[in-house]
């Protein structure tokens, strides 16, 4: 690894979030949505994930839904021989989130990933299976050693309050939701509530959809980036982790873009810059529906 890569890794390792169970993780990880869809990109995508590990972006997020399991298989190949470096997250579909189906779904994910245990297992979104049942069976998976911890995804404040009121519901360690500069609705109520609960947000699509083209066109982001000799998307990504309670998981199949994402960890935005971004991307003034893509 080059000295530049070592420096980037040091920055990434210095920016952390703490899960509700006390686990400390880097604030920048890697998403895998749409990975594995194009077989022609397979080796490049594997290289991208391994580059992320080299840069200290050890959290790799995937799901049984992504490519019908192909993303999990790809992640499994990427971490082969490097399992101890990676913090593996997968997600269960809501129709599989209870009873024998949950056990079978988890075993399927473990098999595709080629591992014996998941570091974190998430309910992908809420469905018809009662949360009480999901919590009970997540706890069983944990007791059986198939997962180390569990959490949820795409749950808003009302659902989160219900979750934590259940027996063992307060063992949920995180909530994964969409969050980026142009989608700040969670700042009105969900994020403050989660801060009170000492529960971090995992931000998916932190650079928006379409590779961040919308954010990349922002004049404000361009101005701040030019001052710092960075890219607009590095500034946008740095903004998501500034609070210390967000773990961002940008997805890219390009190893060069992975290194660029990792470089965002070196940026601490000044108050003036944060105010500029607030004017360009206003904070929510009322309750907003949870954005889901």
- Is residue 122 within 8 Å of 90, Cβ to Cβ? yes
Closest CA to 118 of 130, 109, 127: 109
Torsion (CA) 96, 100, 102, 104 in degrees, nearest 10: -100
Catalytic, 11? Answer: no
The Cα 238–Cα 145 span in angstroms is 35
Q: Binding residue per annotation — 124?
A: yes
The Cα 214–Cα 212 span in angstroms is 6
Q: Is 100 exposed, middle or buried (0-12, 13-18, 19+ CB in 10 A)?
A: exposed
**Alpha carbon of residue 40 to chain centroid:** 25
Closest CA to 135 of 99, 104, 87, 90: 99
The Cα 293–Cα 249 span in angstroms is 15
For Cα atoms 120, 99, 106, give the angle at the middle one, nearest 5 degrees: 35
Closest CA to 55 of 28, 84, 82: 28
Other C-beta atoms closer than 10 Å to the C-beta of 256 total 10
Closest CA to 42 of 83, 64, 71, 82: 71
- Tracing tokens 């060069």 back to the chain, one arrives at 256
Helix (H) / strand (E) containing 121:
strand 120-123
Helix (H) / strand (E) containing 90:
strand 87-92
Q: Which of 11, 66, 121, 179 is catalytic?
A: 66
Catalytic residues: 66
List binding-site positions for substrate.
124
């Amino acid at each position: 690894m080059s000295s530049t890569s070592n420096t980037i890794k040091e920055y990434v390792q210095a920016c952390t979030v703490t899960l509700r169970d006390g686990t400390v993780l880097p604030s920048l990880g890697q998403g895998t949505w749409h990975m594995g869809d194009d077989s022609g990109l397979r080796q490049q995508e594997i290289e991208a994930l391994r580059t992320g590990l080299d840069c200290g972006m050890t959290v790799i997020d995937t799901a049984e839904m992504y490519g019908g399991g192909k993303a999990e298989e790809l992640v499994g190949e990427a971490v082969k021989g490097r399992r101890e470096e990676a913090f593996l997250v997968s997600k269960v579909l809501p129709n599989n989130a209870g009873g024998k189906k949950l056990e079978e779904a988890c075993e399927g994910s473990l098999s595709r990933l080629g591992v014996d245990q998941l570091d974190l297992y998430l309910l992908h979104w809420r469905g018809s299976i009662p949360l009480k049942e999901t919590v009970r069976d997540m706890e069983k998976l944990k007791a059986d050693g198939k997962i180390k911890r569990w959490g949820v995804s795409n749950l808003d404040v009302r659902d989160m309050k219900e979750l934590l009121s259940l027996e063992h519901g307060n063992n949920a360690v995180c909530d994964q939701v969409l969050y980026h500069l142009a989608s700040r609705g969670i700042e009105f109520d969900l994020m403050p509530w989660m801060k009170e609960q000492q529960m971090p947000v995992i931000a998916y699509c932190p650079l928006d959809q379409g590779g961040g083209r919308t954010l990349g066109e922002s004049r404000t982001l361009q101005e701040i980036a030019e001052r710092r000799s960075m890219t607009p998307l590095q500034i946008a990504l740095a903004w998501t982790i500034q609070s210390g309670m967000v773990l961002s998981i940008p997805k890219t199949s390009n190893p060069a873009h992975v290194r660029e994402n990792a470089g965002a960890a070196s940026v601490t935005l000044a108050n003036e810059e944060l105010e500029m971004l607030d004017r360009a991307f206003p904070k929510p003034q009322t309750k907003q529906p949870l954005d889901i893509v």
